[in-house]
Amino acid sequence: MPNEHCLIVHAAGKQLDLLRGEASRIAKGKQINWWTDRADIGTRFCFEDAKAKESFALTCDGFGVRCRDG
């Protein structure tokens, strides 16, 4: 996909479900698409907008979840 902005998140179980909900909320607010893919270690969350990715990174930090550009 062109213009994808991704973060690899290190979370599992309910924490991962919570982050999926937050990603959906962020994307819906910005009226963009988002998706997840498996990564070697963790889950890749991708957004069509760089600002949505930044918002999601702040959300991860707020929950104490490690993430990195991916």
DSSP the chain: -TT-EEEEE---HHHHHHHHHHHHHHHHHHT--EEEEE-SSSEEEEESSHHHHHHHHHHHHHHT--EEE-
As for how many domains the chain has, the answer is 1
pLDDT higher than threshold 80 for residue 41: yes
Q: How do residues 5-20 score in pLDDT, each as one tens digit?
A: 999 999 989 999 999 9
Q: What is the CATH number of the domain that holds 63?
A: 3.30.70.600
Q: How do residues 19-37 score in pLDDT, each as one tens digit?
A: 999 999 999 999 999 999 9
Indicate the pLDDT class of residue 47, thresholds 50, 70 and 90.
very high
Predicted confidence at residue 65, as pLDDT, reads 94
> Domain range for residue 34?
5-69
Copy the structure tokens of residue 31: 């009226």
Percent of the chain with pLDDT over 90: 87
Yes or no: say if 67 and 10 are a contact pair by the CB < 8 Å rule: yes
